[in-house]
Amino acid sequence: MSQKLYRSILLIVAFCLTLVICFHFFVKIYIPNNYKIFVGEEKSIGYNVPLQAEIKGDIKGVLQINSEPVPQDRIAVNLNKSFTVRSEETGKFNVQIKLLGLLPIKKVQVEVINPNNYIPVGEMVGVTVSTDGILVLGTGNLIDPDGKKVSPSKDILYSGDYIKKINNKKIATKEELIEQINASKGKEVLIELERKDEMIDVKIKPSKTSVADEYKLGVWVRDDTQGIGTLTYVNLEKNNFGALGHGITDVDTQQLMELSGGTLVTSLITNITKGQDGTPGEIAGVIIESEENTIALVNKNDKNGIFGSLTKQGKEEYTRNEVISLGFKYDIQIGKALIRSNVSGEIKDYEILIEKVFLNDEANKGMIIKVVDTELLNLTNGIIQGMSGSPIIQGDKLIGAVTHVFVQDSTKGYGTFIENMILEEY
């Protein structure tokens, strides 16, 4: 093989690899893993790139491409020119994205939903969640029976670790952890833990303390947390809910908490601290924990909120409320909108202005909003902690939820798009 031909082949291979890498990043950034469209909505799609979408599922006679019914349960569509998609029924179908119609790059799940199944709630609730394992906050020193400082877990356990098992026995509470460590009588224990999505095993020898028959690892841990937030919406079709508009992060590690479950319960607002420049306000309340006051079960904690299913009490409480349509981010207009909240003790809609919209946002800061309602400003000075999840409504459509307050200006804050939340529904 001549040197010139060899170089040409290398250039072609390098070009192909570069092309694949570029399209991989394009698909990752601009094409989501999950996509939702409304029943009866004609959605225009086009990326002007040499990609092909192979659509599979129960789509025969249901899905329409360019206003023509699909005649079979599989169809290929080129993404290098615009086309329209429409479905008259709810359901799911899968899309395989391929480069040049040959090389698979990404799988996307598309769900057709009924936009008239959602109820904006706006009620503040008590949130209690349990971690999936025991969350390590940090390590520290112990005083042994000889009066010496010891740190048995130093450089072995780290902040953000989740302890799952001790000596192959699953543990879920701090009490179970203490029991297993004391049962070791100072012998080395095998700990199975999760660290940054990786399961690993470590061994630690618990240290005896100055207290008789007490052994410890020298570690600070947490197994649950609670607070007050706002229930954003209820999905009538699935009896699901979405709340907060952002995930629950641990106050010490600042990491998104891995949950084994949790509950939403009714709460009673006892005090409101107004927001001030540099200091966010907050709502203090009593969380009324009991079976009859449990309105929902939490089964997912995500960057876009917490999600789960309604209990019998929750269904009775909320399914009588008004249903409105959903509005996706391309429906949102700069200008007047409303947020719904019971911060005053009763559910009310308060006027806000949507000042900016960031259409490419995939987290929970897609809109900048400003409170202009005099009644709400007199009550809270704007957005305060506990209002996260308050529904944002514009033109009789549920378009998003309040997520954050600007610390230096409590009248302003961020909102997330409602589509970011409903994509996380089970």
Query: Model confidence over 229-243: pLDDT tens digits?
Result: 999 999 988 889 999
Rounded mean pLDDT of the chain?
84
In this structure, of 22-36, 172-186, 235-249, the range with the lowest mean pLDDT score is: 22-36
What integer pLDDT is reported at residue 281 of this predicted model? 85
Q: Under a CB-based contact definition with an 8 Å cutoff, are residues 207 and 216 in contact? A: yes
Q: Tens digit of pLDDT for each residue in 281-305?
A: 888 888 888 888 899 999 999 889 9
Using CA of residue 214, residue 215, residue 219, residue 221, what is the dihedral sign? negative
Q: Under a CB-based contact definition with an 8 Å cutoff, are residues 170 and 236 in contact? A: no
**CA separation for the pair 144, 150 (Å, rounded):** 7
What integer pLDDT is reported at residue 48 of this predicted model? 66
Q: CA distances (Å), 243 to each of 121, 141, 388, 416, in order?
A: 9, 39, 8, 11
Torsion of CA 246, 320, 287, 369, to 10 degrees: 30
Q: Tens digit of pLDDT for each residue in 131-144?
A: 888 999 999 888 88
pLDDT at 392 over 70: yes
The whole model's pTM is what?
A: 0.78
- Per DSSP, helices labelled H in 2-86 are 3-30
pLDDT at 15 over 70: no
Q: Under a CB-based contact definition with an 8 Å cutoff, are residues 152 and 142 in contact? A: yes
